[in-house]
Chains A and B, each alone.
Chain A
Amino acid sequence: MALTVDNLTEWINSFAQKVNDQKDYLSELDTPIGDGDHGNNMARGVKAVQESLENKKPAELTDAFKQIAMALISKVGGASGPLYGTAFLEMAKKSKDTTDLGELFAAANAGIKKRGGAQVGDKTMVDVWEPLSDQLAQGSLAQEDIDKAVNGTRGLVAKKGRASYLGDRSVGHLDPGAMSSGYLFTALIETEGIL
């Protein structure tokens, strides 16, 4: 079982599918604690990713990660653009040395944390990326881990991003970026032949 350009593409297409299906839901999550655009941002981003991968089939994993990153960086528009973009850019760099998922995701997570300055507990996508990257490194990621991480953001006080303006009042709402990140991990474990 290993990551290839083909199953990476399959994974990303599955993620795109989920984002498109849940576009309105993601924007709804972003409404009480943000500006209500996360679904639209991500849908625009994954569309650009799919177009890029179709227009120019990447020769290597590194190219694939880079194309994904650049499309997200250019097209998302919101905070999630540079964050997801940095994640895939870090995976591109790391993929020159290894295809180990644990290492790739650890690099991605470190990139997100550096880019946005968020730590675990700040009610951001980091609350999904960090624990699930750890699980991947340990070779045991299941849907219930994903649900737990995503749902865990509900009780947190936002410390970064737009939701942080609401302080304590952000409690009781799921973080939209955590939810979309959850879809990325679900798509990963659902794609045959990667894990």
Chain B
Amino acid sequence: MRVTVLAAAAPAAEPSCYSRLRNEWFCLDYVTDRREEILDAAGEHLTITVLAVALGVALAVPLALLARRLPRLESTALGLSTGLYTIPSIALFPLLVPFTGLTMTTVVIGLGLYALTVLVRAFLEGLRSVPEDVREAARGLGYGAGRLLVRVELPLALPVVVAGLRVATVSTVALTTVGSLVSYGGLGNLIRDGVTTNFRAELLVASVLCVVIAFALDALLVLGQRALTPWTRAAGGARR
């Protein structure tokens, strides 16, 4: 600690590459000096994103099912999710804070609600893409609504659902930034700081990490989809 103080007290002739005077985009010193802070932020970012998407899915499924059961509710469900999406975080979070405090829960709920607009549609479209003859066969065999959904419709809806999930996940990675509003922004805290103080190295590193997280989660989803849909590419499959 002494070292830091000394370094700060007597700045070297050459300012560090991330000081405002140089402010370079690529600056390794920044990464080494702030490693812990960066890793913590990335970890928090990942946690929030995953929890928020999970919450979004948990909310989207019943909404989509309801909308499908009662087609008249479909536009209501879509409208609701759209409406939620348009609430600015600066208006939404203060509404949540009295109930959930300055906690990660607030962010997760907010982001989960934002993800709905993509997810509700994805589930609706996915269910719609299940071939009618398969559905008829399942119903004829005595599948109840629940099992029909879990065993037949969801697996077959997976390509479309995962497509939506990918968009939702990546959007949430970016949106997690708004969590800085209640101090849980993950990399968003750094990005925000980077933008307001024109801290290029910080901005770049945090953005790149966002991209890395998004890429990793995206790849994970694709791999998950492949693992869960072996029939789409079994040996000698269809022509395409």
Q: Do A and B come from one complex?
A: no
User: Interface of A with B (CB < 8 Å)?
Assistant: none
User: Interface of B with A (CB < 8 Å)?
Assistant: none
